[in-house]
């Protein structure tokens, strides 16, 4: 077999970011050993670490390394240390997404049977949940003009029909490969951007995707529907801020925010893969964070970043086997540390046993 070399930009970031990224890297190295790939890691600071090292949350060299990479793996940014910094750590991530044109943030949520009784919801409510959030990532209120004086502040929310159309098409295409249902979430009863959102999604549906079932939901009641009957959802399509909020809520269906992975994809640039959670300042440095969100982000990096499908499945399978065996971190009631969890999953990848009964196969296209 010829050895393929892949260049991975590794951005550990802040808080628990470096801990979960170390576990994810170990799993990726185990994939390399098993499948004869060479992963070359180019490690760079972002967020607070970027501010400390280079005075900027997105140092120019970090951005350059990302542009030159085959895929980017990121931990998390932010923390109380930089609350008063002139530019916050989070700006580094927002600038990176914008600079690379990563408009589609895809956040799958699947419930592993071994965890169905570990959520605050009833087991019969969450068992079998398999949904994916398509969150628009480079527009909306995150990127509109911001103003501030002593007594007032404003954040402008802007969307163009073009921006809405491209994320809508990505979501409909995904639904075609899944269960053929899209739920578009907006606030069309109040917001002009949401009215354009709903019109555009409806037009794209009529033009190209009549085979897909489309429903519209207002975001407030959607938060309620999502935890009352989560199995009804297949692809959830929404704008930047609603997607941010709904995806944290959806992660609870699987058991913990620490389990959720994400992929941020654009038309041409390398993809960015990161857990949905943040830097969890209270957990930092204790080796207690759940690394599975970061490790499943490695599975997405392999499948959607490098097109290595068997390799991606081997990671999902290793996570599933580990959960089957009852290994859990503290967020799920267990006592396994972050590093130990990474070791076990990496060993499963290397062991190349058969497929687990319930593989967490996170696939949308
Ligand atoms: P958070 O996601 O860091 O934490 C929310 C809760 O989930 C906390 O109780 C935390 O302990 C728990 N948690 C998160 N990840 C976990 C894991 N892997 N294992 C176990 N438990 C986990 O959100 P927050 O506290 O609102 O934000 C903290 C900082 O992180 C802020 O500066 C915020 O801006 C930043 N943040 C960054 C990202 C990112 O880098 N993509 C995402 C969200 C928040
Ligand atoms: C996320 C985070 C980011 C976001 C922050 C850190 C800017 O919450 O990736 O979900 O709001 O997009
Ligand atoms: Mn978020």
For residue 60, give the CATH number of its domain. 3.40.718.10
Q: pLDDT at position 37, please?
A: 97
Neighbours of ion ligand 3 (CB under 5 A): 244
- Clarify whether 335 is annotated catalytic: no
CA of 241 to the centre of ligand 3 (A): 9
Residues 195 and 245 in one domain: yes
226-232 contacts: CB < 8 A, separation 24 or more?
A: 226/250, 226/253, 227/121, 227/125, 227/252, 227/253, 228/125, 229/125, 230/125, 230/126, 230/129, 230/131, 231/125, 231/128, 231/129, 231/130
CA of 334 to the centre of ligand 3 (A): 25
* pTM metric for this prediction: 0.97
Give the start-end residues of each E strand in 243-357.
Answer: 261-265, 272-275
Domain interval for residue 210? 119-254
Output the residue whose Cα is nearest ligand 2's atom 12: 244
Number of separate domains in the chain: 2
Residues 311 and 351 in one domain: yes
Q: Give tens-digit pLDDT for 252-310.
A: 999 999 999 999 999 999 999 999 999 999 999 999 999 999 999 999 999 999 999 99
What is the number of the ligand 1 atom nearest to the C-alpha of 294?
A: 18
What average pLDDT score do residues 128-146 get?
97
Q: Give tens-digit pLDDT for 337-352.
A: 999 999 999 999 988 6
Q: Give tens-digit pLDDT for 59-107.
A: 999 999 999 999 999 999 999 999 999 999 999 999 999 999 999 999 9
**What confidence category does residue 2 fall into, taking pLDDT thresholds of 50, 70 and 90?**
low
What average pLDDT score do residues 34-49 get?
97
Residues 134 and 223 in one domain: yes
Residue 119, pLDDT > 80, answer yes
Q: What percent of the chain has pLDDT over 70?
A: 98
From the list 14, 118, 142, 159, the catalytic residue is 142
């Amino acid at each position: 077999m010829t050895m393929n070399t892949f260049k991975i930009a590794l951005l550990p970031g802040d808080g628990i970011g470096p801990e979960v990224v170390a576990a994810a890297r170990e799993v990726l190295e185990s994939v390399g050993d098993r499948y004869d790939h060479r992963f070359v890691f180019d490690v760079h600071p972002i967020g607070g670490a970027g501010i400390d090292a280079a005075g900027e949350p997105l140092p120019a060299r970090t951005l350059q390394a990302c542009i030159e990479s085959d895929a980017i793996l990121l931990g998390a940014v932010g923390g109380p240390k930089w609350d008063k910094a002139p530019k916050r750590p989070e700006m580094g991530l927002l600038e990176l997404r914008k600079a690379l044109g990563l408009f589609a943030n895809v956040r799958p949520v699947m419930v592993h049977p071994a965890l169905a009784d570990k959520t605050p919801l009833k087991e019969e409510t969450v068992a079998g949940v398999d949904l994916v959030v398509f969150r628009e990532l480079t527009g909306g209120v995150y990127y509109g003009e911001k103003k501030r004086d002593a007594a007032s502040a404003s954040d402008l929310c802007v969307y163009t029909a073009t921006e809405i159309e491209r994320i809508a098409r990505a979501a409909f295409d995904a639904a075609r490969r899944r269960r053929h249902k899209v739920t578009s979430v907006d606030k069309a009863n109040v917001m002009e951007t949401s009215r354009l959102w709903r019109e555009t999604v409806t037009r794209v549906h009529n033009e190209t995707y009549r085979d897909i079932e489309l429903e519209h939901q207002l975001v407030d009641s959607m938060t309620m529907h999502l935890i009352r009957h989560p199995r009804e959802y297949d692809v959830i399509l929404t704008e930047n801020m609603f997607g941010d909020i709904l995806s944290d809520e959806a992660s609870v269906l699987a058991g913990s925010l620490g389990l959720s992975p994400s992929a941020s994809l654009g038309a041409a640039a390398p993809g960015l893969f990161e857990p949905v959670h943040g830097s969890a300042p209270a957990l930092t440095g204790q080796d207690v964070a759940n690394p599975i969100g970061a490790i499943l982000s490695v599975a997405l990096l392999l499948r959607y970043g490098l097109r290595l499908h068997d390799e991606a499945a081997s990671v999902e399978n290793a996570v599933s086997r580990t959960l089957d065996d009852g290994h859990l971190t503290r967020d799920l009631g267990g006592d396994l540390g972050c590093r130990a969890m990474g070791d076990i999953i990496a060993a499963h990848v290397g062991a190349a046993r058969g497929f687990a009964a319930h593989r967490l196969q996170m696939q949308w296209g």
